[in-house]
Amino acid sequence: MNRELFGVFDDRETFERFRTNDEFDQVLAAPSVTVGIRDPDLGTPGWTSSYTDANGQCVVWGEAHAPDDDSSVARWLLERYRDVGRDALQSLNGSYLAVLDAGTDDDSFVATDPIRSRECFYTDESDSRVFGTDAGEVGRTIPEPTIDRDGVLEFLHLGVALGEKTAVSELNRLPVDSVLTVDSVDPLERFVYRPETFDYTAELADRLERAFQRRSVLPDASGVLLSAGFDSRIILSQHSSLDRGYTVGEPDAQEVRVADRLADQYGVSHTAFPPDERYLLPDESKVRYSQGIKESLHIHHAGYTDEIDVDTMFHGLLCDTFFRGHFTAETTVDVLDKRIPTGTLDPDPDPVGELLETFGYSPEASRELAARTSFDVDPETFVETAIEDELDARASRAESVQNTINCVGIANQPSLPFHTQLSDQFVTAFLATDRELIDWHLRTPPEHRTTETFLEACKRLDDDILRHRPPDRPHDATLLNEIERFVRRKTPFLKSFQPPWPDRERLFERYDFDQRFLADLEHVHELPVRHKLRLVDLRGWLAYWGAAETCSLPWLTPREFATA
């Protein structure tokens, strides 16, 4: 990877048992924590920074902003920690990992941002606790890795390993909103739902404006991954220095045509990358960013990175989750055996069912997958139990069923490899992780975290933001959009709304991915493309760091062959 943080809770001598100094741009060494940083943009305002004084050291890795526009976020955090302890993390803003050593074993830790948008992997399989951002590099320190059955099954059935699991039993992840120390994992209280009454629209508009102001310090030559939807257009509207927008799609696709109009509206050049094998290709440009815990399917842009000519990249990832209720359970109406969301809050949701549906769980596909592997478990019972466990684990952070559903969804967001890959290639601005916007999400009741509230806030910042509507949302009301979607699908001679993303089934077949990546597993060729891509991701990730030979993979053999 272009950027990496790797460390040990020990001295430089221990660090050098695992890595060499010349692998990193900088190594900060102390008796209690030694950490290496590789980042070509180290020291850029708003980005990775480090600081050392006579009594301690600190690294803040990723996008980070301190209060009062302090030019060195790492220095600010170390000095603030000495005044208020871990409460200093309440004011740190962005998408980051922080490694701090204030001079004693009791004052050394690694902390995630509140939503764990930057993963920290760790293991205790050597003499000292090892941690880092690259799961493969941390995994290499494990002498005899073994497959974690539950982590693998969750990944294959849901597209994400839940909680702190990975595909390997000896490799763990730091939980959401927590700190890692030499011998413990401690929860924090930055991500806890506390609904209040206030002017939700006005406050969201003000906080969006300030979030963009903070990110104005990032390097020029800025781009945006541009869709025809709502989330990326607010970036076009509010970031005056954007140069280019990029979309993956056919030139005549509805999504591309509207994205092109939006770019023209805001004076930004626009490039549409035609979907070819690069869109799905599960090679190292994608698979190593999936880290064996989330599917690489979401890294739509990875194959086109070499053609993207910007320094800083903006994106709207998770805006729908934090501002528009992506994980909020809505009431539905049944029309001809089809459930149509109404846009109103479900007063009595089924949390397990809601999360399975939002994660995209397919009972039929999972039964087919189970029949073609040697894991002897009922997939439906397994995933339901796994989701129930996650709901129990996050319940203390929420005061209602609706917010617990949201908390589990955010803690296990499958699409984060999208951001991980981008941040390895560019300085990235992750709007949704702004501390003030997360606070808005936590304080706003779920019935007000809606598309309507978000659009009203956006219109306060730009009253022309809906000049070109998304092609699949011609109406303001959610129910009207869903009704038109249904009518178009069922009525001859009416064109259906086109999906926003290219047809992965067609591309998978066109480029013969079955034979290129699964030729030795002919018994899985009948599975849906999404599940086959997960198999390729997992095998590729294990092979990338040399674990495929030591991690036994008998589950890839169907039961009838395993017992023959």
* Domain edges within the chain: 4-187, 200-324+414-490, 349-411, 504-562
Q: What pLDDT was estimated at residue 474?
A: 81
Q: What pLDDT was estimated at residue 105?
A: 60
Answer whether residue 331 shows pLDDT above 80.
Answer: yes
- What CA–CA distances, in Å, run from 80 to 84, 85, 107, 166? 6, 7, 13, 34
Q: How confident is the model at residue 558 (pLDDT cuts 50, 70, 90)?
A: low
Taking the whole predicted model, whether its pTM rises above 0.85 is answered as: yes
Single-letter code of the amino acid located at 36: G
Q: What pLDDT was estimated at residue 493?
A: 74
Residues 437, 384 contacting (CB under 8 angstroms): no
Tens digit of each residue's pLDDT (9 = 90 or more) over 340-391: 776 788 899 999 999 999 999 999 999 999 998 888 899 999 999 999 999 9
Q: What pLDDT was estimated at residue 471?
A: 87
The tally of CA atoms less than 13 A away on the side-chain side of residue 177 is 23
Structure tokens at 218: 């990032």
Query: Which of the listed CATH numbers 3.40.50.1370, 3.40.50.300, 3.40.50.620, 3.40.30.10 matches domain 200-324+414-490?
Result: 3.40.50.620
Q: Please give the Cα distance from 526 to 555 (Å, whole number).
A: 17
Bin 508: left if φ > 0, else alpha if -120 < ψ < 50, else beta: alpha
What mean pLDDT do residues 100-110 have? 86
DSSP string, 223-242: EEE--SSSHHHHHHHH-TTE
Query: Of 10-24, 504-518, 545-559, which range is least confident?
Result: 545-559
Q: Taking CA 191 as the corner, what is the angle to CA 92 and CA 75, rounded to the nearest 5 degrees?
A: 15
Q: How confident is the model at residue 475 (pLDDT cuts 50, 70, 90)?
A: confident
At the top level of CATH, the class of 4-187 is alpha beta
Helix (H) or strand (E) holding 152: helix 149-158
What mean pLDDT do residues 540-554 have? 87
- What CA–CA distances, in Å, run from 311 to 38, 41, 271, 314? 17, 10, 16, 10
